[in-house]
Structure 1
Amino acid sequence: MDIKLSTCFIAVDDHDKAIAFYRNVLGLEVRNDVAFEGMRWVTVGAPSQPDVNIVLEPPLADPNASPADKKAMSELLAKGVLRAVIFDTDDCDATFERIRAAGGEVLQEPVDQPYGVRDCAFRDPAGNMLRFNQPR
């Protein structure tokens, strides 16, 4: 039996800002952009990983959600506590400098971690934490 990651989801509150960040700053390609029932899903991914997709979705992708639930999810997103994504990079320091120069919100400068990686962290425009790991 072979199991592989296919798709993961990241909540965003502004798809256009998210596209600008994930495409223009991180260098991911936009693979799909779909509207449905007043919501929008944008799929991005690394050109080097055509089988792995990241879907940028609304904070609460449920057209029947109550206003209170939508508000609660938006507040959690604004705090940056909904999701985190970890990317691999072959040069943590260069990745850090590129994202910082593009205006990325720095959470952690590059540091050698005791668990065998050098990593750094940023927030995307919606507040999600993104980490960038380089194996040591």
Structure 2
Amino acid sequence: MITNISLMSVFVNDIDEALEFYTEKLGFVPKTDVKLANFRWTTVHHPDHPELELQLALPGPPLDEEDTSAVRRMMQKGTMHAFGIATDDCRKTFAELTARGVEYLQEPSERPYGVEAVLRDSSGNWLVLVEQRPYTGEDFS
């Protein structure tokens, strides 16, 4: 039986830079950092949710060169979506993160499902910050 998601990966340009961003700007905690001859396995997690690790990965194997190039192009264009982050107060969290120097694409805005802001990580990936509230399909009409 599947119990939960335990690992997800986000492509980054530089693992050390991303590690600094996710720990110092977002408050995540380092979990694993193993350096092998041609690969580095680096993960962080939110302090309240150690069961979900976020792997900071360079684009490359097991992707082939064509896919690696496509991922790098999307990252360079700033169109790569990483993941959503839940918050209990989007406006307050947005203010705290931007005060720490986190770049944003969209200030907090009312949506049918709550309040949403869009930020960028140090590699240009979109991070969606959401203060969710109950909604139904009718809320989108």
What TM-score does the superposition give when structure 2 sets the normalisation length?
0.84
* Change beyond 3 A, Cα 1:135–1:72: closer
1:70 CA displacement: 4.0
Which residue in 2 is equivalent to 1:93?
A: 91
- Structure 2 stretches of 5 or more lacking a match? 134-141
Post-superposition Cα deviations, 1:37-80, rounded to whole Å, max 9, x if no partner, equal 42323101111111111000111233x844x6544432222123
Which residue in 1 is equivalent to 2:104?
A: 106
Which residue in 1 is equivalent to 2:4?
A: 4
- Structure 1 stretches of 5 or more lacking a match? none
Give the number of equivalent residue pairs: 133
The 10-residue stretch of structure 1 (18-27 or 53-62) with the greater mean CA deviation from structure 2: 53-62
2:128 is equivalent to residue 119 of structure 1: no
Any idea what SS the aligned residue of 1:24 has? helix
The root-mean-square deviation of aligned C-alpha atoms, in Å, is: 1.9
Which residue in 2 is equivalent to 1:131?
A: 128
Task: Verify the 8 A CA contact 1:59 1:77 in the aligned structure 2.
Answer: no
What is the CA–CA distance in structure 2 between the aligned matches of 1:35 and 1:79, rounded to whole Å?
29
What TM-score does the superposition give when structure 1 sets the normalisation length?
0.86
What is the CA–CA distance in structure 2 between the aligned matches of 1:82 and 1:111, rounded to whole Å?
21
Task: Verify the 8 A CA contact 1:39 1:61 in the aligned structure 2.
Answer: no
What is the CA–CA distance in structure 1 between the aligned matches of 2:68 and 2:37, rounded to whole Å?
15
